[in-house]
Amino acid sequence: RAKANGRNRFHFYNPQLDREQLERVALENALFHALQHGEFELHYQPQVDIRTGRIDGAEALIRWNRPGHSLVSPGCFIPLAEECGLIGDIGNWVLEEACAQMQRWQREGIRLRVSVNLSALQLEDPGFCDRVAQILERHTLEPDQLELELTESLLMKHVDATVDLLRQLDRMGVHLSIDDFGTGYSSLSYLKRFPLDKLKIDQSFVREISIDQDDAVICRTIISMAENLNLKVTAEGVEQTEQLALLAEFGCHQYQGFLFSRPVPAPELAQLYRQSQTETEPAWEI
Say which entry of ligand C2E, Mg ion, none residue 201 contacts (CB below 5 to 8 A, set by partner kind). Answer: none
Q: Is 258 in the site for ligand C2E (CB under 6 A)?
A: yes
Please, which of residues 130-169 interact with ligand C2E by CB under 6 A? none
Displacement of CA 284 from its chain's centroid (Å): 25
Cα–Cα dist 180/99, whole Å: 23
Q: Which does 170 bind (CB under 5 to 8 A by kind): Mg ion, ligand C2E, none?
A: Mg ion
Q: How far is CA 69 from CA 159, 179, 189, 280, 285, in A?
A: 40, 29, 44, 42, 41
How many binding residues for ligand C2E (CB under 6 A)?
Answer: 23
Site for Mg ion in 98-137 (CB under 5 A): 117
Side-chain-facing half-sphere of 112: CA atoms under 13 Å: 36
Contact status: 243 vs ligand C2E (CB under 6 A) = no
Residue from 25, 44, 45, 147 touching ligand C2E (CB under 6 A): that is 45
User: Coil, strand or helix: which one is 261?
Assistant: coil
Distance between alpha carbon 121 and the CA centroid of its chain, in Å? 15
Q: Is 179 a binder of Mg ion (CB under 5 A)?
A: yes
257 binds, among Mg ion, ligand C2E, none (CB under 5 to 8 A by kind): ligand C2E
Select from 77, 30, 46, 81 the least CA-distant residue to 274.
46
Q: Report which DSSP code applies to 285.
A: -
CA dist 205 and 15 (Å) reads: 46
Cα-to-chain-centroid distance, residue 120: 13
Picked from ligand C2E, Mg ion, none, the partner binding residue 67 (CB below 5 to 8 A depending on kind) is none
| 165 scored as a contact of Mg ion (CB under 5 A) | no
Figure out which of the listed residues 28, 42, 98, 149 binds Mg ion, where binding follows CB under 5 A.
149
Residue 152 binds to Mg ion (criterion: CB under 5 A):
no
* Span 198-227, contacts to Mg ion by CB under 5 A: none
Interface with ligand C2E, residue 269, by CB under 6 A: no
Q: Which of Mg ion, ligand C2E, none does residue 57 bind to, with CB < 5 to 8 Å depending on kind?
A: none
Helix (H) or strand (E) holding 147: strand 146-151
Shortest distance (Å) from residue 203 CB to ligand C2E: 6
Phi, psi of 238 (to 5 degrees): -80, 120
Question: Radius of gyration of the chain from Cα atoms?
Answer: 20
Binding residues vs Mg ion (CB under 5 A): 117, 149, 170, 179-180, 197, 236
Binding residues vs ligand C2E (CB under 6 A): 45, 61-62, 73-75, 78, 91, 94, 117-119, 179-180, 203, 236-239, 256-258, 263
